[in-house]
Amino acid sequence: MAMEHVLDPQLQAELEERIRRIENGERPEPFTNLDWVYMWIVTAVVLFLFAVLVLNLLLHR
């Protein structure tokens, strides 16, 4: 059973049109490598804080 059997005909036509437009490139701005760099920086800070605070726990137990 394809999706065309469960949608109203007008919505099916709209779905087809939207799929065509998105496949033809009507998409939001893509991510860049810089976005990943920002995320890695934040993650590195989290890991650093984690290491320091846990080391503190282990050394003082």
Partner 1 sequence: MAESREQAVQREVYFGILPVLRGERQFGLLDFLLVQVGFGIAAWSFLVGGYTGSVLPAGPAIAAILFGNAIPVFLISVLAILYARYGVDTFIGARAILGPRGSNLFLIIFAILNLGWITIACFMLGESAIRVVAAFGGPEWLASRTVGAPIFALAAFAIAWWLALQGPIAIRLFIRVGVPAMVAIIVGLIIYIFLQNGVSAVWNAQPPAPYDTPVRGLASAIEWNVGLGFSWLPYIGQWNRLAKDERTALIGTYLGWGVLLNVAAILGALTALLVGTYEPTEWMIQAGGPLFGLFGLFMLILANLTSATVLIYSQGLSIKTLFPRWKWLWALLTTVPAALLMLTPTMYDSYTKFLAYISFIMAAFGGVMVADYVFIQRFHISLRDLYRQHAGRYQYFAGFNWEAYAAVILGGIFYFWTYDPATDRAGPLFTYITAGIPTFFLTAAVYLALTFVTRRLAVRQEEPVAIERGD
User: For binding to partner 1 (CB under 8 A), which residues are involved?
Assistant: 1-3, 6-8, 10-11, 14-15, 18-19, 21-23, 26-32, 35-36, 38-39, 42-43, 46-47, 49-50, 52-54, 56-58, 61
Task: Supply the DSSP symbol for 40.
Answer: H
Write down the least CB distance from residue 16 to partner 1, Å: 9
Q: Under a CB-based contact definition with an 8 Å cutoff, are residues 10 and 18 in contact?
A: no
Write down the least CB distance from residue 12 to partner 1, Å: 10
Task: Name the residue type at position 46.
Answer: V
In three-state secondary structure terms, 60 is coil
Write down the least CB distance from residue 41 to partner 1, Å: 11
Q: Return the closest-CA partner of residue 14 out of 3, 1, 25.
A: 3
